[in-house]
Amino acid sequence: MAVATSGIDRISALPDVILLHILSFLRSKTVVATSILSRRWRNLWPYVPAVDLDDSLFRGKGELFVRSAYVVMLRRGLTHPILKFRFKSQSYYYDQFDLDSWVNTAIQRKVETFELSPAINYGLKLPIEILTCETLVVLKLTNITVDRIMTVQLPALRTLYMYGVGFVKPEYLDNILSGCPNIHHLQIYSLSLSLRSYRVVRTFCSLIHLNLSLYDFKWCLILALINSCPMLQNLVIRKEKPGTRGLDLQHRLFPVPGCLTSHLRYCTLKNFYGSEVDVQFAIYIMQNASVLKRMTICCPDTSSDGDKLQLLKRISKIPRTSKNCELLFE
Residues 196, 178, 110, CA angle at the centre, nearest 5°? 130
> What secondary structure does DSSP assign to 223-247, as a single string?
HHHHHT-TT--EEEEEESS------
pLDDT per 10-residue tile (average), the chain, 330 residues: 52 66 68 59 69 78 82 77 88 87 91 90 87 96 92 95 88 88 90 57 87 76 85 90 53 73 93 80 89 90 77 83 87
Q: Is residue 175 part of a domain?
A: no
Q: Is residue 274 part of a domain?
A: yes
The domain total for the chain is: 2
Residues 189 and 312 reside in one and the same domain:
yes
Q: Where are the beta strands (DSSP E) in 173-297?
A: 185-194, 209-216, 234-239, 266-270, 294-297
The span from the CA of 327 to the CA of 198, in Å, is 31
Q: Is residue 144 part of a domain?
A: no
Residues 106 and 206 reside in one and the same domain:
no
Closest CA to 265 of 244, 234, 231: 234
Count CA atoms within 13 Å of residue 115 on its CB side: 12
Q: Is residue 30 part of a domain?
A: yes
The kind and range of the H/E element at 284 are: helix 276-288
Give the residue numbers spanning the domain of 272.
184-330
Residue ending a domain, choose from 117, 138, 159:
138
Contact 309, 278 (CB under 8 A): no
Q: Is residue 119 part of a domain?
A: yes
Identity of the amino acid at 258: G
Residues 238 and 126 reside in one and the same domain:
no
Residues 129 and 201 reside in one and the same domain:
no
The dihedral built from the CA positions of residue 177, 180, 184 and 190, taken in this order, carries a sign that is negative
Residue ending a domain, choose from 108, 123, 138:
138
Residues 88, 90, 91, CA angle at the centre, nearest 5°? 115
Residue 203: the pLDDT is 85
Q: Is residue 158 part of a domain?
A: no
The dihedral built from the CA positions of residue 301, 306, 311 and 313, taken in this order, carries a sign that is positive
Q: Is residue 173 part of a domain?
A: no
Cβ-based neighbours of 277, under 8 Å, separated by 6 or more: 219, 243, 244, 245, 246, 247
Contact 286, 316 (CB under 8 A): no
Q: At what angle do helices 96-108 and 62-74 cross, to 10 degrees?
A: 20
Name residue 191's beta-bridge partners: none
Residues 37 and 98 reside in one and the same domain:
yes
Residue 45: the pLDDT is 64
Residues 207 and 324 reside in one and the same domain:
yes
Residue ending a domain, choose from 72, 105, 138:
138
DSSP category for residue 125: B
Q: Find the Cα–Cα–Cα–Cα dihedral 214, 217, 220, 223, rounded to 10°.
A: -20
By the 10 Å C-beta count (0-12 exposed, 13-18 middle, 19+ buried), 101 is classed as middle
The span from the CA of 156 to the CA of 183, in Å, is 8
Residue 1: the pLDDT is 34
Q: Is residue 45 part of a domain?
A: yes
Residue 231: the pLDDT is 95
The span from the CA of 141 to the CA of 185, in Å, is 14
Query: pTM of the entire structure?
Result: 0.78
Residues 196 and 119 reside in one and the same domain:
no
Residues 96 and 208 reside in one and the same domain:
no
Residues 107 and 194 reside in one and the same domain:
no
Residue 192: the pLDDT is 57
